[in-house]
Each structure stands twice: as structure tokens, then as C-alpha cells.
Amino acid sequence: MKKETATRFTVSLPPTLLKQLDEMTREKGYDNRSLAIADMIRAQLVEHRQKSDSREIAGTITLVYDHHKLHVQETLTDIQHDHHEVILSTVHVHLDHHNCLEVLIVRGQASVIRKIADELIAAKGVKHGKLTVTTTGKDLPA
Ligand code: NI
């Protein structure tokens, strides 16, 4: 992608809000306010775009479940096979004697990804699940 030049624009903020922004910028280790604000805007864009059902998103679905619970593993595997085209990779870790942690890396239409995540998280035996959405990176400038 061609390197973009930065555009300056003016934002008016209450002084205490600006002070808190600068504190956060420093605490998070940004070199300057502009870099911190650019990251905040990107985060909001990713958040906003995932609401549009047709957009392509990337993300992870994290699941914790007890593999001793009847049929949980089969159910999760069946759902994953039904959607193999959007599940790019799966990592399974045995946390202890009972509990498994599974992370699925996904990429596809926002509505499809959300549906798969809901189905997996709602499966009987899943103790906790979470979909984390990020960008495919294609239409988000650095
Ligand atoms: Ni396991």
C-alpha cells in the first residue's frame, strides 16, 4: 500500500479529559497522543464494522469445556466440520484432568462467524466461550 501522509485536524476537549488522555498515552507507552488516538480510532472501526453482517472479519473463538461431559467433544467437532471453510486453525490444550481450552482461528463473513461462535458457546458442556473479533487488515491503514 502507498504510504499515506498524515492529516492534521483540530479536536476540542475538556482540559481534564485531555489530561487523562495524556496520562493514558504515557502509561500505555505511546510516543505521542496522535499514535494513541489513531489506535483508538482503529479499535472503534473494527468494533463498528463487525456489526455489518456482510463484512469479512478475522477472529478467535475461545472455549473452555469439560471433555468428560457427555457428547460435548462430538458436538463441538460436528459444528467445526460443518464450517470448515471459515475455521482456519484450532489449538487444543488440556488444562487439567477435566478441562480443555480450545482456540479456533476464524475468517469469514461477520454474520457467519457470529453464528458459529454462538452455536459453539451455547453447546452443552461448554463452561465459557468468547468470540474476539479483529480485522483482516485489508482495509485498515497502519
Ligand atoms: Ni483436552
User: In the chain, where are the structural domains located?
Assistant: 15-49, 56-134
In contact, 60 and 116? CB cutoff 8 Å? no
Q: pTM of the entire structure?
A: 0.84
- The alpha carbon of residue 15 and the mean position of all alpha carbons in its chain are separated, in whole angstroms, by 33
pLDDT at residue 66 greater than cutoff 60: yes
**N-terminal to C-terminal alpha carbon distance within the chain:** 10
C-alpha cell at 40: 483508538
Ligand 1 ion: residues within 5 Å (CB): 94, 100
For the segment 70-92, the average pLDDT, to the nearest whole number, is 94
67 alpha carbon – ligand 1 mean position (Å): 6
- Decide the pairing of beta strands 56-66 and 87-94: unpaired
108 alpha carbon – ligand 1 mean position (Å): 26
Q: Which CATH number fits domain 56-134: 3.30.70.1150, 3.10.20.30, 3.30.1490.20, 3.40.50.620?
A: 3.30.70.1150
- Model confidence over 96-123: pLDDT tens digits? 999 999 999 999 999 999 999 999 999 9
Q: How much of the chain exceeds pLDDT 90, in percent?
A: 84
142 alpha carbon – ligand 1 mean position (Å): 38
118 alpha carbon – ligand 1 mean position (Å): 21
